[in-house]
Amino acid sequence: MAPSETAPPGVSYVMPVFNEAAYIDDAVTSVLAQQYEGEQELVIALGPSTDGTSERVRALAEQDARIRIVENPEMAIPIGLNRAIRAAHHDVIVRVDAHTELDPLYTAVGVATLQRTRAASVGGVMVATGRGRLQSAIARAYNSRLGLGGGPYHGGASEGPAESAYLGLMRREPLEAVGLYDEGLKRGEDWELNLRLRRAGHLVWLDPQLQVVYWPRDTWAKLARQFTATGIWRGELVRRAGGRHPLRYFAPPALLVASALSLVLLVLELTRIVTGPLALVLSLVYLAPVLYAALLLALLLLRSSGERLRDRATFAMVIAVMHYSWGAGFLRGVLLGARDAVDRSRIES
């Protein structure tokens, strides 16, 4: 058999980048250090950054011929990804982010799984990591079932068919056949793409061996903006795709509605506008926020080895900010549509 018939397939990494000065070097290094024998290139879709990222990316490209740059003036992730994919040379597309770092064997394991399963898209597990008390608490929330509802790619799942793939290694042919990423979306583009792949009869696969380090936002304001925007676009996707969404997506907006109704009812009861049996029946609305408050209190009081009170308090507050921001965004997205909502957590400090 000729050597060309046994050579591993070439891989094109596609990375949308905007205002990632603190993370871009480590992200690019983790890509270029992959222990993979096939040909590799990194195509960066570069937005007009204001924090020195653009200059750093251009310097990295001058140092390594495997790095190529396509401009992404719209700063939209799906548009940038599509530009990078169209510019890519190889048939295996690996989506990476500037906030992530790949395990050295990520590509080798992922390509092997892609070939073994004949899937169109293969994803792995997000391992959130943080520096300092707040980012570490946010990372802990990402890795917890409490934070993001226990999605399979946050750990604990077995290998097999999946609803979606985190980042993902994809075969170009089915990717192009379904039209690449939806450029009308600002968030949730991975889930929507994998939905179209599954509808077209292709397999989406989860392989927990694939490990990706993810660096979350590092301020309260960025966290709230990110989760509000994510909730808005998830609401938009619900409008588009109907009921094809796990029930966990509906928990935060339900909690927010129950909390708001509880405040209204409390005022009505204190002013004696609502009394008697009616007040007793309506008081069932208190159940959700009371149980949620009990959960946050438990997070505050239950101490693990070496954990300080302020660490537990920060984690509990992070959980609440995630849920209520996401829930508020979701309701807006469902009721009004996403319109031109964007994630401003990378634009504003």
189 in the same domain as 74: yes
What average pLDDT score do residues 163-181 get? 94
Q: Is position 230 within any domain?
A: no
* 140 and 185 both lie in a single domain: yes
37 with 175, same domain: the answer is yes
Same domain, 208 and 287: no
Q: Do both 172 and 299 map to the same domain?
A: no
What pLDDT score was predicted for residue 223? Answer: 95
Q: Structure tokens of 120?
A: 């169109």
Bigger pLDDT: 345 or 255? 255
Q: Name, in order, each residue with C-beta under 8 angstroms of 201's C-beta and a sequence gap of 6 or more.
A: none
Task: Check whether residue 274 and residue 211 sit in a common domain.
Answer: no
183 shares its domain with 254: no
- Rounded to an integer, what distance in angstroms lies between the CA atom of residue 41 and that of residue 60? 13
Distance (Å) of CA 58 to CA 31, 194, 277, 307: 16, 32, 70, 42
Q: Give pLDDT tens digits for 27-69.
A: 999 999 999 999 999 999 999 999 999 999 999 999 999 999 9
Distance CA 281, CA 153 (A): 40
Total residue count of the chain as it appears in this document = 349
* 169: its two tokens: 């290694």
Residue 172 located in a structural domain: yes
C-alpha 237/C-alpha 292 separation (Å) is 26
What whole-number distance in Å separates Cα of residue 95 and Cα of residue 189?
12
- To the nearest whole percent, how much of the chain has pLDDT over 70? 93
Range 297-317 average pLDDT: 88
Domain, as residue range, for 165: 3-216
Kindly state whether residues 90 and 202 are assigned to the same domain: yes
The amino acid present at 287, given as its one-letter code, is: L
Amino acid 73: pLDDT: 94
Instruction: Answer with the one of 193, 216, 239 that is the final residue of a domain.
Output: 216
Model confidence band, residue 287 (pLDDT cutoffs 50, 70, 90) = very high
211 and 129 Cβ atoms separated by less than 8 Å: no
Would residue 228 count as lying in a domain? no
Judged by DSSP in three states, 304 sits in: coil
Euclidean distance between CA atoms 45 and 53, whole angstroms: 12
For residue 25, being part of any structural domain is answered with: yes
71 domain-assigned: yes
Mean pLDDT rounded to a whole number for the chain: 90
Q: What is the CA radius of gyration of the chain?
A: 22
Same domain, 150 and 210: yes
Would the pLDDT of 3 be above 60? no
Per-residue model confidence as pLDDT tens digits over 88-124: 999 999 999 999 999 999 999 999 999 999 999 999 9
Residue corresponding to tokens 């599509």: 82
**Mean of the pLDDT values across residues 171-178?**
97
pTM of the model: 0.84
Q: Which of 275, 257, 317 is nearest to 293 (CA)?
A: 317
What pLDDT score was predicted for residue 182? 94
Distance of CA 137 to the CA centre of its chain: 17
- Is 204 in the same domain as 332? no
Per-residue pLDDT for 22 more than 60?
Answer: yes
pLDDT (0 to 100) of residue 2: 44
pLDDT in tens, 242-281: 656 777 889 999 999 999 999 999 999 999 998 888 989 9
Note whether residue 237 is domain-resident: no
Helices (H), the chain: 3-6, 24-32, 53-63, 77-87, 106-117, 132-143, 145-148, 172-177, 189-199, 220-241, 251-270, 276-282, 287-301, 309-336
Q: Where residue 81 sits, what CATH number does that domain have? A: 3.90.550.10
Checking DSSP bridges between strand 121-128 and strand 204-214, what pairing results, if any?
parallel
Same structural domain, 251 and 208: no
Q: Tell me, yes or no, whether 268 and 207 share the same domain.
A: no
- Please give the tally of structural domains in the chain: 2
